[in-house]
Amino acid sequence: MARIAIGSDHAGYDLKQHLISILESQGHNVDDHGTHSTESCDYPPICAAVGRSVRDGKADFGIVMGGSGQGEQLAANKVRGVRAALCNDLYTARMARSHNNANVLSIGARVVGLGLAEEILATFLATEFEGGRHERRVQQLTDIENEEQARGDK
């Protein structure tokens, strides 16, 4: 079973709670980075914490959620080594893993219903990275990240 870091803003809170129960019932180890209510909050620190858990090897995968999932994906992707993908359908969930080796899933809680979110999550977790030509492209992404860090993001 996988170790999964999870987090959301207030708009994603109910979906996060639902997915936590699904993941735990499947035997996954879930680390909840918040938020812990539907009270309005800022998502960047929560999503960065999820990303850091993945980067630091404390989690195999991360999941972030918000209203659209856009900002949450962007925030997680600010963490070096994170490849967060916004997946509001099954095709993007499968391609994010098989072609991009995504390690953080972002979902828009105001975009998809509970049933589809469960299917997206299951697809994301079950899909293996294909490697091959995709390995070269993922490495190019890492190289860009390394070059930007070396430049000091000037």
- Active site residue ranges: 72, 99
DSSP 55-99: HTTS-SEEEEEESSSHHHHHHHHTSTT--EEE-SSHHHHHHHHHT
Q: Of all helices (H) and strands (E), which one includes residue 136?
A: helix 133-151
Instruction: Quote the CA–CA distance of 124 and 153 in Å, as a whole number.
Output: 31
By the 8 A CB rule, do 44 and 34 touch?
Answer: no
CB within 8 A of 21, min separation 6: which ones?
Answer: none
By the 8 A CB rule, do 76 and 102 touch?
Answer: no
